[in-house]
Amino acid sequence: MRILVIDQAPRLKPVTVERRDLFQRPFLARELAGLDAVVFDPPRQGAEKQARALAASQVPIVAAVSCNPATFARDARILADGGYRLTRVTPVDQFLYSAHVELVGRFER
């Protein structure tokens, strides 16, 4: 994985990326402290443990990507119960001739 971070412009913030198995090692609320936003894109099973840790955190913005509307709804409920509000959801129909739809949701505190 290659990551390019440019921090010479005063308006840009550094970006940190970590790839992790969210089933085995979800990010804990204390690991999320101080972050401005989190993007997570789990497999079809969703990210229940990660959603619970996010709900316990103080991260102001969460973007959730999902290939399964049912697990997206479950994880969204966990985030909502933890104080987040779903402010936008966008379906992405990227697979021609298939009923498969990706979802991207924005949650804010």
User: Which residue did the predictor score with more confidence, 12 or 75?
Assistant: 75
Catalytic residue among 64, 67, 76, 78: 67
Q: CATH number of the domain at 29-108, please?
A: 3.40.50.150
Reported as a single tens digit per residue, the pLDDT across 9-39 is 566 677 778 888 878 888 898 988 988 899 9
Residue with tokens 């987040």: 84
Mean of per-residue pLDDT scores for the chain: 86
In the block, which residue shows the tokens 């959730």?
A: 64
Angle between helix axes 69-81 and 48-55 (nearest 10 degrees) is 20
Residue 35 annotated among the catalytic residues of the structure = no
Q: Does residue 64 register a pLDDT over 80?
A: yes
What is the residue extent of each domain of the chain? 29-108
